[in-house]
Amino acid sequence: MTDATSSPEAAGRTATSDPPLVRITGLRKSFDAVHALRGVDLTLAAGEVTALLGDNGAGKSTLVRCLTGVHPPDAGEIRFRGEPIKLHSPDEARRLGIETVYQTLGLIEDLQVWQNLYLNRELTAGFGPFQVLDKKSMISHSKEILSRLDVDVPNVRATVRRMSGGQRQSIAIARAANWGKTLVIMDEPTAALGVRETTAVEALIRRLRDSAVTVLLISHDMAQVLRVADTAYVLRRGQTVARRVVKDTTGDELVGLITGAIEGDTHG
């Protein structure tokens, strides 16, 4: 399995001679008689935001689960930095620097911000069996994480329950970005947010890209895709039907490709 160590690229872009961060070819996955993926091809360029589009049942969630080690694909290949990989668990994906922000966020409301940032990754101090939680370091590092990403949280000691929807989403993204050094997958990150909070989260996505973090964005919001994504892939009935450079397309074209009103023109 490939090493997850990342190297910074100028302006968050990889050199043209480097392989893409992730290349998926011919991915297939079935659950009994249900063919969730029928041959998906997708490329994630390092340091870019790629949108993954499609109606419910198009295969987006299954593709993400294959990419994060939840489900092994039945056929096809996933390459990470040019090397084929087989992920058997989410922990293996995390070791490659792949993190996911789900719609449920995975935050514990009665824990403080810093505790959520280090949930299941707590720092300890001491020797041998005499280990204690290094609360001071985790609080200090949490402040640095949020400051680096310009996340507007007034106090890392505040409980998540007291945070707004946008702040909670930003905390979840900051946690994923801190541990996911190479790829952060976001599932409808602004679906339940207002205009102001959506703007803040989109600004955070751009900052991740500028920091050379690759983002895979699942969104039904075509205006958002046009604002923040570099490339968009459309899935329909478990297949890749189109790839578009976002600056060269429109929301209407993307919607047409999703619904089938416009024929797809690619399988990779």
- The CATH number assigned to the domain holding 68 equals 3.40.50.300
In a domain, 12, yes or no: no
In a domain, 11, yes or no: no
Residue 58 DSSP class: S
Q: SS3 breakdown of the chain: % helix, strand, coil, rounded to 5?
A: 35, 25, 40
One-letter amino acid for residue 58 of the chain = A
* Of the candidates 216, 200, 141, the residue with the CA atom closest to the CA atom of residue 165: 200
In a domain, 194, yes or no: yes
In a domain, 4, yes or no: no
In a domain, 15, yes or no: no
Rounded CA gap, 187 and 102, in Å? Answer: 5
Query: How far from 105 is each of 36, 84, 210, 216, CA to CA, in Å?
Result: 24, 30, 23, 16
User: Tens digit of pLDDT for each residue in 185-243?
Assistant: 998 888 878 888 888 889 889 988 998 899 999 999 999 999 999 999 999 999 999 99
Tally Cβ neighbours within 10 Å of residue 117: 24
- Percent residues over pLDDT 90 in the chain: 53
What is the predicted pLDDT for the residue at 81?
Answer: 93
Tokens of 212: 């050379």
User: Tens digit of pLDDT for each residue in 6-32?
Assistant: 333 444 444 456 789 999 999 999 998
In a domain, 264, yes or no: no
Residue 172 DSSP class: H
In a domain, 188, yes or no: yes
* pTM for the model: 0.82
Query: How far from 134 is each of 46, 114, 141, 153, 185, CA to CA, in Å?
Result: 34, 12, 11, 22, 29
Is the distance from CB of 193 to CB of 136 less than 8 angstroms?
A: no
In a domain, 88, yes or no: yes
Query: Is the predicted pLDDT of residue 266 greater than 70, yes or no?
Result: no
3-class DSSP state for residue 217? strand
The larger pLDDT score, comparing residue 132 to residue 9, is at 132
Task: Tally the C-alpha atoms within 13 A of residue 4's C-alpha that lie toward its C-beta.
Answer: 15
- Helix 165-179 to helix 135-148 angle (10° resolution) is 100
What is the predicted pLDDT for the residue at 25?
Answer: 96
Cα Dmax for the chain: 64
* Of the candidates 10, 83, 64, the residue with the CA atom closest to the CA atom of residue 184: 64
* Of the candidates 82, 120, 80, 113, the residue with the CA atom closest to the CA atom of residue 97: 80
Q: What's the domain count of the chain?
A: 1
Q: What's the domain range around 91?
A: 20-259
User: Tens digit of pLDDT for each residue in 55-74?
Assistant: 988 999 999 999 999 999 99
> How high is the mean pLDDT of the chain?
87
Report, in angstroms and rounded to the nearest whole number, the Rg of the chain calculated over CA atoms: 19
Query: Is the predicted pLDDT of residue 167 greater than 50, yes or no?
Result: yes
